[in-house]
Structure 1
Amino acid sequence: MAETQLQLVEITELETNNKENSVDQPSGIGRRRKAPSRDYKWWIRTVLYSVFLISGQSMATILGRLYFEKGGTSKWLAALAQIGGFPVLVPLYCFLLWKIPVPNTEIGSDSPPFVTAFVKVYVPLGLLVACSGFLFSVGLQYLPVSVVTLITASQLAFNALFSYFLNSQKFTAAIVNSLVLLTISSVLLVVNNHTEKPAGVSNAEYAAGFICTVGGAAVYGLLLASQQLALRKVLKRQTLKVVFDVIIYQSLVASIAIVVGLFASGDSKGLKKEMEAYALGEVSYVMTLLWTAIGWQVFAIGTVGLILDVSSLYSISVSTVGLPIVPVLAVFVFNDKMDGIKGMSMVLAIWGFLSYIYQHYLDHRKSKIENRIASEIAVEDSLPAEVHPADNRA
């Protein structure tokens, strides 16, 4: 789902840190840039972005299920609601580019022309986004929202698997632990929830929903790994502008693909009757879809804000904290059952998330140490010859 933008923006941190370390360091002087102070404005922004992330994620997931619960039947329309709100990000994109100008080093870079990037990167990634969104819509139609939320945790496991083949991801103890825990979490749901089906859902539809949700998590894992590969091998830039270009253009392609599917499947012909028959009324029908789209974009704004002001690790942590909120809300909104097995599945899913995040923390810390050592070596090499002790020997 919209969590998708997290991993893509995450890999810009290294370049940002390198730029900060290189600022205000005159030749021959190893002076480091002083870290910005964290005043009350920083704390207000951090809290606000965290609220955006958690509330957007929770609201959009609940509303996505509410659409089907009250009479919605179009999987294509539900998928479009997940992705089609991307124009909301365009003003933020323009504002950030105005606040953070494109550096001169990007001029004349070896990045491909727009047409090449569109064909090789934006179109394939957009189709993956559309496929993942459609599969998750099937899951939301046939499964309790709490089950869908817990199954989506497995997208981290799929991301690690595909990253192993595409990006030479190493399987450390923390990642293997995460894979095992997330797998067990999903297996528990298969064993326990065969009798817990939404009203009017057959056993075959329930099985299809489960398979499609797992498939959606797998496609999403492939999407994350492919984004990283595209930025490194094709676009060859990892700046904020390039990241937002990928987010916006892949969402545009995905939206077009889903609209084509909406009309090709014939669902578009029944939307008027569906809206008239919606249990909460026509206005609520439109508002449910509209706020679902807005919810995912609010989540995206919170994610990007936390990454820019704090770190990607913190952003992932906040998203993890928000994971149990959806199943808990589903108990009150949809009367989903919260039994012991589902609770155990939730604990294992969170444990798996934290294990995966811990590995990111280790990698991030190692990268910072290597960058600091490289920076110190570069500063020493730039010192004038007369200041080297070896040249002052009698």
Structure 2
Amino acid sequence: MGFHNKSSDGITQEREEATIGDENQPRALLDRSQIFETQNWWIWIFISSGLVVTGRVLSTLLLNFYFIQTGRDVCDDPKQFKGTWLMSMVQNAAFPFTAFLLLLWRSLFSNHRETLSSSSSYSSSSCSSFGKLFLLYISLGVLFAAYSQLYAIGRTHCVFFFWIFTTQLIFTSIFTAIINKHKFNRWIILSIILSGVATGITSSDDAYYPCEGEGWKMSYGAWCAFFGTLAFSLSLCIMQLGFQKVIPNSESKVSAVLMMQTNASVIATFICLVGLFVSREFKDIKEDFETFKHGKPLYVLSLIGLSLAWQVMSLGLVGLVCLASSLFSNVVSFCATPLANILVVLAFQFMDDDIEWFKGGALLAGILGFSSYVYSLHKSIKKKEMESQ
């Protein structure tokens, strides 16, 4: 009896161990796949952040170079308030670059099964899906054109443009809380404060500084800058809403990001092109082309480079919206501003060395602001992993 009881317990224990082993095997596979997905997500987060930083730095350097070479850095130059439609169009005109990346990505990485599932999901509700996507891209294109033009006017007309620009982070926080139901914690709030301080400290390091005695133009530029911040903040939150509610789940994230950026940029470029001809600002292009200090070829190259830099930054912003949130996308953009402004000062020697510690402090605040939000993302991912387990 004793032997029988012992062997029975042993068999029961072996069965329990085998059952636990069978349960742990798919769980282990699930954990490995989850770890891989998390690592892949972090890689894309840092790639998108790198695109934002690179685009911000290059666009700031090239824009200051353009202002200096066209004489717009001189306060009493008659061209100071011209060229806003050209700048807004250039900011969106590099959509062939993202369209090429979209075609390249789909040809290399999309498989036949994903294409079939995507097409079947579209065919099941093709009319409603197409209508929602069309409305999404149209609204984003209009907002792209709006904030591009409003920022161009604010930059050329208002001395306090960069201080008004800093409020963009506040509006993004408000809109994302209302539209995207974004939840805040102390690390996110700290990140917002640090990135806002980082941008505010070095915001005046720029080649273009409007005359202070322009009266109504100053007020006009201030209102344009204000509504530009509203349009930009709203566009980020609508992007996030589109990724959550409109873009089909069968679509890969990279394709969705490239598609959104390309379509919105096409619409924005068309609107800005119409504005360029209606305002007759296209006549000023010839003057800039003829009087560019470093010659005509460099004028063309500077505009092409500026357009590509803006497109790279926008692509990174859209990627961060898709991967994380509209608020994180804006925070990364703000954290990159001190680095861009420091490089502008070094490249063009705009300011004295008396306040160099301000620039170092702004760069440190930007790094800490970015790190604070990344730590918040890390904590939220760990919490989700614990809940899933």
**TM tier, smaller:** 0.5 to 0.7
Q: 1:178 to 1:232 in 2, by over 3 A?
A: same
299-308 or 256-265, which deviates more: 299-308
Structure 2: gaps of 5 or more residues: 1-21, 37-42, 72-78
1:189-268 superposed matches below 5 A: 198=209, 202-204=213-215, 205=217, 209=221, 211-237=223-249, 239-240=252-253, 241-268=255-282
For 2:142, the equivalent position in structure 1 comes to 127
Residue number in structure 1 paired with 2:91: 82
1:244–1:48 distance in 2 versus 1, CA, 3 Å: closer
How far has the Cα of 1:123 moved from its partner?
0.5
Q: Distance in 2 between matches of 1:185 and 1:52?
A: 19
1:337 matches 2:351: yes
Q: Deviations over 1:166-223 (max 9, x none)?
A: 1122343334445555666777789xx6xx9737664545665555445433321111
User: Aligned letter for 1:60?
Assistant: S
Q: Residue 226 of structure 1 aligns to which amino acid in structure 2?
A: I
Gaps of 5+ in 1: 1-24, 37-42, 377-394
Q: After superposition, what is the alpha-carbon deviation per residue over 1:214-249, rounded to whole angstroms, capped at 9, x for unaligned?
A: 543332111111111122233354732223221111
| CA–CA distance in structure 2, aligned partners of residues 330 and 359 of structure 1 | 26
1:50 deviates by 7.6
Q: Aligned partners of 1:176, 1:318: CA distance in 2, in Å?
A: 14
1:164 offset after TM fit, Å? 1.4
Write the distance in 1 (CA, Å) between the matches of 2:47 and 2:295. Answer: 33
Which amino acid in 1 is paired with 2:95?
F
CA pair 215-177 structure 1, distance change in 2 beyond 3 A:
farther
Matched to 1:198, the amino acid is: Y
> Retained in 1: the 8 A contact 2:196–2:334?
no
1:163 aligns with 2:162: no
Count matched residues.
339
Q: TM-score, normalised by structure 1?
A: 0.67
Which protein is bigger by CA-based radius of gyration? 2
Q: TM-score, normalised by structure 2?
A: 0.68
Stretch deviating more after TM superposition (46-55 or 80-89):
46-55
Q: Determine which of 149, 153, 173 is the counterpart of 1:138.
A: 153
The residue that corresponds to 1:98 in the other structure is 107
Q: How does 1:277-356 map to 2 (within 5 A)?
A: 277-299=291-313, 322-337=336-351, 344=358, 347=361, 351=365, 354-355=368-369
1:62 equivalenced with 2:69 (yes/no): no
Name the counterpart of 2:26: 29
CA distance in 2, matches of 1:365, 1:76: 44
CA deviation map 1:271-303 (0-9, x unaligned): 223322333332222222111012223445677
**CA displacement 1:238-268 (0-9 Å, x = unmatched):** 7322232211111111111111111111111
Q: Which stretch of structure 1 is more off in the superposition, 277-286 or 82-91?
A: 277-286
1:170 alignment partner AA: K
Q: 1:345 to 1:172 in 2, by over 3 A?
A: farther
Structure 2 counterpart SS, 1:324: helix
Change (3 A) 1:318 1:171: closer
Q: Is the 1:126–1:251 Cα contact (8 Å) retained in structure 2? A: yes
RMSD over aligned Cα atoms:
4.6
Give the AA of the match of 1:254.
Answer: A
In structure 1, give the amino acid aligned to 2:237: A
For residue 120 of structure 2, give the secondary structure of its aligned residue in structure 1: coil
Q: 1:338 to 1:251 in 2, by over 3 A?
A: farther
Identical counterparts, % of pairs:
24
| Structure with more helix by fraction | 2
Quick check: 1:149–1:326 contact (8 Å CA) kept in 2? Answer: no
Change (3 A) 1:48 1:115: closer
- Bigger shift: 134-143 or 83-92? 134-143
